Structure 1
Amino acid sequence: MLTVVRTLAAALLVFAGPAAEPIRDQQQWVLDALNVEQAWNVTKGAGVTVAVVDSAVDGQVKELRGRVTEGPDMSSGVTSRVVAPGRHGTAMAGLIAGSGAENGFVGVAPEARILSLPLVVDGEPDLGNAPLQGEQPTAESPLARALRYAANHGAQVVSMSIGSYGALRSEREAVSYALGKGVVLVAAVGNDGQTTYAKEKSTSYWSFPAGYPGVIGVAATDKQGRRAPFSSDNLSVLVSAPGMEVPVVKRGTGYELSEGTSSAAALVSGVAALIKARHPGLPPEQVAQALAMSGRGRPAAGYDDQTGYGVVDAAAALNAADRLTGARRTVEPGMEHFGQGEDSPMPSRPGPDPLRLGLYGGGVLLALVTFCGAIVILNQRKSDEHRQRNE
């Protein structure tokens, strides 16, 4: 019987000890790459809940304390089972919503809340194996349960730093359900960029949930904004974000460095939270559009399957969301010389223009009178000529 391998490690996460410098200094390059601090002048994500479908989040980490809601174990039908905090989920939650408490780690949306939905799995993926062919029929999967739970319990964004090779009908339906509820779905595209298949075919296997329609697939980049060598390259990639040497919080206390599209997806989930805080009613497809239309380092062709539409720019994405919603924006400092401008005149009502209609009618009447007059004159001349011949 074919089974689908589901793993938290499908979006590679390799930890290393951090340097001796303060954590805020270490993570500054990530904040700069995403232009996060400028976005904080508008919002820090207050009022938004991000569901982290991953290993369980450690809510006692100082940067997350008091802002983590523990959801049930999604890996089985036994919702009362206690799940121990995980290293991976805690790291991702910190990237999204770390508060910066006590000069500690700060996430992209430091005022957002976290809904932890543990998706405990067994085993590691074999990235050299071919993916399963076709969509696999199955009962509701743990991820499908997690998506429906998140959509029904107040999450506006779902972050999924997970992946598998197989597509499941129950997951596709759950994705549609969550999107219909207005929930933004973000997922890591995977780390198959250096596999034998990718080198031979110049493309990577698709990973799910990133491959499902409507899910924002995120690739990883380095400090220069270039695609990370391990990052998967295929058409599931919409945008990209830092994924190499990214500082993260540790379970319990302390910090470490990570690599993988896991981190990239969590960072973009934080930016999505900023957009939803600013525009709560913005539908998922327009959040994705705002992220894509404002990316930095856009490929020369506008899009490619390595970095998508470029590295996410939080401040520019908020401005793009403003434009999509028609919100009135203030003049940017230093741009006042362009002026506020005058309002455009109201458009004329549809229908005939009375003046033009009158001119047209008068012209038609004049043409008719002229035509009739010519006929009368012509007939009179013929009558005179006939009389003269008879005389």
Structure 2
Amino acid sequence: MASIAPAAPLEHTASSDVDLSSTSNAKATIAPLAPFSVGLFGCSEMLNEGFRRLVEVGVIKRKVVDDLDVMRRLHDGRADAADLERLEREGEYLQGGFYLGSQDFYDWLRDMPPAQRRGISMRRISEVNELYGGNETLERLQRRDARFFNSCMMATALGAAVSDTLDDGRVVSGVGGQYNFVAMAHALPNARSVLMLRATRDGGGETRSNVVWNYPQATIPRHLRDVYVTEYGIAHLRGKTDEDCILAMAAIAGSGFQYPLLQAAIGAGKLAPKHYRLSDRNTPQRLRAALAPLRAQGVLPDYPLGSDFTAVEQRLVKALAWLKANTATTGAKARTALKAWFSGGAADAEAMRRMGLERTAGFAERLEARLVALAMRENSAD
């Protein structure tokens, strides 16, 4: 924990401190770690490897039927033997609009026993994403205590989410069902919306925060704020004041970006000038060090839920990402090229073959091969 001496306007301290390095600003109540007895019902626009894993370990297994009377009796505890027999025979535990994953995922769907496959169905996107398509009462019973997980690009300190459009109006992604699911989380009783994002991003040779004070575009407005998750913690925003939201979001931002976030909030009159004790724990270096033992044990592979990438392609993905980051500017490009050209070391023969660089002709191809070889060596420890 480090106390960072802030410049104006944060130097005007009050008698009380606000400690952003404390986990009290960004933490979740620990749920009981008991096996799932009833299980969850899975319903998503896209079904992928993660749902497969949840089915395999017995988390997704609660069945539903498209019969309002039966669902009411199940909900009220009045279901008879005939209802339970029908639920077992016709019930579905997984519904999706489309299915996307690795070849192993498709093999799992194709080869599962018929009785298990009957519990999975493909539904219209409008049916999955909406609550008001004509069967609201039925879907409310099926989707009880729902948890909706989505990812976003950026989030503001007041709880708005940016998922589809940049500040200059360029559209980088469709909204998809994200807005629908967030709105549904506020419409259903005991439901929650969880939006996940990386705390920072790298580009153009610099690191920028994805937790920002304000942004010209918003996919999810601030009045639908609920739960945000970064690699540094969890911020619960629903029902909180703007002040509490700002502090919770700052606590899950990268350490180097907490101070300017608080400065902006004080400048806008949303926070009182106090002494804010910032966190030095929210860094990639600390995360890597904390997770290194688990990585070494093989507990945290790069693709824990499956991938069509071969082993050499997985190594190349990391190496090429490193190469992109280290050639983002003219200066960085020159430094990396010089290091690649003059540094020694054996090349990864398998990676060179996959890139078509095992035999090179001309200066450009030789430089490309040396750049890839350097990137592979730089990432070999990971």
TM-score normalized with structure 2 length: 0.23
> Max radius of gyration: which structure?
1
TM-score normalized with structure 1 length: 0.22
Q: Which has the higher helix share?
A: 2
